[in-house]
Amino acid sequence: MRIASVKRPERVAVIGAGILGASVGWNLTRHGAKVVFIDAGQPGEGVTNWSFSWVNASNKTVRKSYFDLNVAGMAAYRELARTIGPDSWWHPSGHLRWTDDPAAEAKFLETAELLASWDYRVEVYTGAEVRRRLEPALTMPGEVPVLFYADEAWVHGRHLVGRLVGQAVASGAEHRSGTAVRDIGAGSDGSIRAVALSDGSRLDVDTVVNAAGPNASHIAELIARHLPMRREPGVITRISCAQVPIHRAMHAPHIELRPDGDASMVLHSREIDALIDTGEDPAELARLLHESARHVVPELGNSRIVETRVANRPIPADGFPSVGAVPSVPGYYEAVTHSGITLGPVIGRLLASEILSGKRDEMLADFRPERFLP
């Protein structure tokens, strides 16, 4: 079913080929738009590849509209898996959370009650039940309460982005990798006319989607727009193991861990993130993550650290997405958010519809770019 259009763009430049840019471009291409992806790197190899990649709404309760958007993101993933096939990118195996801190435990049990009141599926097990029924490789007290969010998932972001960009290119989209946007040209009326690239080329376009992740504020500056962003770096470590001993993503005490394929796992911790700005060497951060993981999963004693990356998360200043048109610059749109993995498919669908039809979806009402004043 095609999206009814008011003024169909002639050519759309999608700046950034991470999960958000790939999702927007794929949806636009499906509905007949001419798209060119522009990225200084390769599809999905930036922040998308260096995030915990957890599809959820249980961690998004600070505002109901944000929770609802993330729930819609989870539903959009299920639809996407049916459309393009799940293959190696989609892992709807649920999510576990427990802690060894009494105050934190009280808080997340309170949050679980709130989520249940919002019809979000949550089950409470004991540690002994989890080991017996779900994850026998874990070490945890037998009586500790463990939340199980059965509808949550993890995504192999780089594989998914590769699929989306590949399908879009097969349907006529263009892909410019290894080159950055140096300038955005506008006409006398202020509307988008062209983008100039660092390789010296210039592309005539009438629409730009800023999905540049941590570089989004720089792209915004090219049209004299101020997009305030937080500086919030995170460290991700990948470890290899002969066989992955766990089956799903989890938040354990002091460590987050999930599978990343048949012989690899991803580790992250907010506590370790807090050490980044102390000047601690990334190799030491990786060692600390690995040590915490071995406390939870003793079988990881024989695993080894493969790669570690510190990456800046793309978070607008108030913590919420900036998605949609900027009315002062006709043809310019933003798709910038933390939780890009969860929100990628739904933002891709909603923003593509807005670009092609001119109609704003109410689901994005709280997350419009114009809330950031000049």
Q: State both tokens at 16.
A: 């950034």
Are 286 and 343 part of one and the same domain? no
Q: How many CB atoms lie within 10 A of CB 298?
A: 13
Question: What CATH number is given to the structural domain containing 36?
Answer: 3.50.50.60
What pLDDT is attached to residue 5?
39
What is the identity of the amino acid at 122? V
What is the mean pLDDT of the segment spanning 142-147?
98
Residues 121 and 267 in one domain: no
Same domain, 334 and 224: yes
Are residue 111 and residue 247 in the same domain, yes or no?
Answer: no
Overall domain count for the chain: 3
Q: Kindly report, residue by residue over 252-300, the tens digit of the pLDDT.
A: 999 999 999 989 999 999 999 999 999 899 999 999 999 999 999 999 9
For residue 194, is it within any domain?
Answer: yes
Asked if residue 196 and residue 213 are part of one domain, the reply reads yes
Mean local confidence (pLDDT), 48-75: 97
In the predicted structure, residue 1 carries a pLDDT above the cut 70: no
- Tell me the average pLDDT across 71-96: 97
Residues 337, 285 within the same domain: no
Same domain, 222 and 328: yes
Q: Are residues 209 and 251 in the same domain?
A: no
One domain, residues 277 and 132: no
- For position 96, what pLDDT does the model report? 98
Is 71 inside a domain boundary? no
Residues 247 and 272 in one domain: yes
In this structure, is residue 240 part of a structural domain? yes
* Helix, strand, coil % over all residues of the chain, rounded to 5: 35, 25, 40
Same domain, 243 and 287: yes
Residue 266 lies in a domain: yes
* pLDDT score for 56: 98
Range of the domain at 166: 12-50+157-229+321-371
Q: Domain check: are 126 and 172 in the same one?
A: no
Using CA atoms, how far residue 95 sits from 60, 73, 156, 188, in Å, is 14, 16, 15, 52
Give the pLDDT band of residue 7 (cuts 50, 70, 90). Answer: low
Residue 8 is predicted with a pLDDT of: 74
User: Distance between CA 342 and CA 75 in Å, rounded?
Assistant: 10
3-class state of residue 302 by DSSP: helix
